[in-house]
Structure 1
């Protein structure tokens, strides 16, 4: 079979062959060689941007001699200026890969990668999916994703889907009638794997559970399900495993960087140490020991077109104690720093805590399909949910008392039943949102 996917990347000027050779070399380094490689790449990328990138020179205070830990932390607000002011010398809109972030952090921006860096991104994705015998040139993907709704954007994505051997299920309408059509496609097509937004795939699994259907039985070609872009809770993972009967693989990435962590075949969330360098920092920008929770700060080791050096991605996480430089393991991802609930007592709590607590009660009987939590005032929260029947006063009391136990008492809640929940323009479901 013609490798349409590889060909389309080559046609667009991405040096895939060179990138594959580089990645092979990095993966096969000994521990000592890897330590040297990492130090060299960190020095190289900083030196390059200090010499060739005005935006980075200004950010770093025009220093030429530096210590790594004194380099500035780059954040999303820094990047909200025209791209041409952030590009390195020698790079223009004509010779880069250009894209924009989804804005799920609340701060969207346009970014660039040089073509070699982007080829490495694809190569690292190929390698990781390869751990599960998925080959983008041959394997057929069932894709649960958003899609642009205007004509040109829609056609362009559909064409990319054709080249990439994937069939897309847009996630804006996830009614039972739509999921019935999705089910028919799985009965009639030989999909090799599922890829897409966690919340949409979980909703499909709940639909299958209600119908008492195991997906692998009606689509025996399936080898794995890769969930991305939203938190995968342990209870949801168990549901997916039960209804799909295939490996459920958790990935964590950022379009402006690369795949950041990808679940390996041992069930560890292995960080991509080939093209990225990941640090966990406290609020004073000091590196924390493994096992401690802090801000995830990432350096892109190969992107010369645009600096992502010590870039605070806006997420909170913990590196596993058994992490090494060459094989860092992400022990836990806590969600975004801007999804923090401020409470009347002065306590700060990750918004996902509400989500966890509420989820454990609300979904017991399978009535509630999805819900989101919005903080409107210091002591006031709105829970929007989609369900077959409205929550009764007993369930509401249970939720309120659990939240009082886990967080604090005397918080006010209103419950709003909806037909569909609002998603971002890319189709992501934002589970907690503070309007403070």
Structure 2
């Protein structure tokens, strides 16, 4: 489409007029993420890490006591609460009076959290976004549908949306009627290339609707569907991909940090780590030592580019598993989601969230929503929001749950009319109220 080509050219022309501040970053990301084990990539990362640590120690109150520390493993692991309780201590005195940018997130529990980012960090984020979009068959200028909860603070104006070729579709209440309206938008859009970016829970409801109504849309020109903010389960990934005739990929990112890892067209089932912009560690669940390859650990991230508020060894609250790709580079084989939502069987062994999701695949056509909650050591509650008036498979579901969680597990089923979303718009499928 000529207009999209013009959008693409205009974007890069404007960037060139600003000395290629995004293009130059993008070229470096391409080299470092594309070849993470190369001597060049390792050297670049080491230099960025050393500069950041030195800057943090010299210019922030929180890190100034570490003046004689030069190894990242000697820096403390921090959390959101650490930053919130010491907010001014994380601010670099060199950047306090500079034109920084405020980034915020409601958080998965609805608790507000924000940081300041310096200008170069913003440019790096933009370059990261472009790189990982390209790895999902999307180029600047093409049509992008964003499925999220849109309000005044994050919704683009009509002119900006047109210039960027973005359609912001609100998923606050994703009913059959609103899904039909969204599909109508896709069908009537004559642009040949479209990409979706949205909450995984919205994709799941869209996949259920398409499956229930036996709808396959194979000629819409959807280049990919990228899921963010939540865990993308295998059912949604395969079902949505089948009915929209596209590849469905998962992105691991946060508003306050940026894109940490993403599945790509070339790596559709594992996550390419953004080693160009972050130093990523996996640490044990109960202490701050690194896990072995193949073990689950807490995702701990150091942002190499935020100099306004250096964020070093930031515990994201999520857990994952490292693996090696065909080139011997580190990748995330699995990302399980929040540590606080990890579930345990009746003997205290950790159970992957994947196991829980599989318990409900058989009943998707009968359910609007479901939620699995561990209420005690051996106490489990299943909340079901039904499509119809009754559910005839209680005994079968409970037996299936006990097969993985223990025959001594106490499983109850509660029927509800609605499982509300969090303030962020996300929907927690798995909750641990026990520990």
> Which residue of the other structure, out of 198, 201, 204, is the alignment partner of 1:199?
201
Q: How does 1:412-423 map to 2 (within 5 A)?
A: 412-418=411-417, 420-423=418-421
* Closer, same or farther: CA 291–322 of 1 in aligned 2, 3 Å: farther
- State the 1:403 CA deviation: 1.6
Q: Within 2, Cα distance between the matches of 1:336 and 1:100?
A: 19
Unpaired segments ≥5 residues, structure 2: 1-5
* Closer, same or farther: CA 284–230 of 1 in aligned 2, 3 Å: same
The answer to whether structure 1 residue 367 and structure 2 residue 366 are counterparts is yes
- 1:3-39 per-position Cα deviation (integer Å, ceiling 9, x unaligned): 5766999999994344335435645777122222222
- State the 1:232 CA deviation: 1.3
* Closer, same or farther: CA 362–2 of 1 in aligned 2, 3 Å: closer
* Closer, same or farther: CA 405–210 of 1 in aligned 2, 3 Å: closer
Aligned partner of residue 40 in structure 2, secondary structure: helix
Match of 1:335 in 2: 337
The answer to whether structure 1 residue 20 and structure 2 residue 47 are counterparts is no
Q: Within 1, Cα distance between the matches of 2:326 and 2:51?
A: 24
TM-score (norm. length: structure 2) = 0.87
Tell whether the 8 Å contact from 1:361 to 1:398 is kept in structure 2 after alignment.
no
- 1:172-210 per-position Cα deviation (integer Å, ceiling 9, x unaligned): 111111111112111111361111011111211221222
Match of 2:386 in 1: 387
The answer to whether structure 1 residue 69 and structure 2 residue 73 are counterparts is yes
Alpha-carbon RMSD across the aligned residues, in angstroms, is: 3.0
> Which residue of the other structure, out of 403, 428, 431, is the alignment partner of 1:430?
428
Tell whether the 8 Å contact from 1:371 to 1:385 is kept in structure 2 after alignment.
yes
Tell whether the 8 Å contact from 2:105 to 2:256 is kept in structure 1 after alignment.
yes
The answer to whether structure 1 residue 307 and structure 2 residue 310 are counterparts is yes
- State the 1:339 CA deviation: 0.7
TM-score (norm. length: structure 1) = 0.86
* Closer, same or farther: CA 376–298 of 1 in aligned 2, 3 Å: same
Tell whether the 8 Å contact from 1:208 to 1:214 is kept in structure 2 after alignment.
yes
- State the 1:105 CA deviation: 5.7
* Closer, same or farther: CA 82–10 of 1 in aligned 2, 3 Å: farther
Aligned partner of residue 121 in structure 1, secondary structure: helix
Q: Within 1, Cα distance between the matches of 2:362 and 2:30?
A: 47
- State the 1:78 CA deviation: 0.4
* Closer, same or farther: CA 157–422 of 1 in aligned 2, 3 Å: farther
Tell whether the 8 Å contact from 2:343 to 2:374 is kept in structure 1 after alignment.
yes
- State the 1:243 CA deviation: 0.6
Tell whether the 8 Å contact from 1:8 to 1:163 is kept in structure 2 after alignment.
no
Unpaired segments ≥5 residues, structure 1: none
Q: How does 1:10-409 map to 2 (within 5 A)?
A: 15-24=21-30, 26=32, 31-57=38-64, 61-81=65-85, 83-92=87-96, 95-104=99-108, 108-136=112-140, 138-148=141-151, 152-153=152-153, 156=156, 161-189=161-189, 190=191, 192-217=194-219, 219=220, 221-267=221-267, 268-282=270-284, 283-322=286-325, 327-341=329-343, 345=346, 347=348, 349-350=350-351, 352=353, 355-363=356-364, 366-392=365-391, 394-408=392-406, 409=408
- State the 1:425 CA deviation: 2.1
Q: Within 1, Cα distance between the matches of 2:290 and 2:98?
A: 38
Aligned partner of residue 222 in structure 2, secondary structure: coil
Tell whether the 8 Å contact from 1:352 to 1:432 is kept in structure 2 after alignment.
yes
Aligned partner of residue 370 in structure 2, secondary structure: strand
- State the 1:251 CA deviation: 1.2
Q: Within 2, Cα distance between the matches of 1:86 and 1:162?
A: 38
Aligned partner of residue 55 in structure 1, secondary structure: coil
Q: Within 1, Cα distance between the matches of 2:162 and 2:315?
A: 35
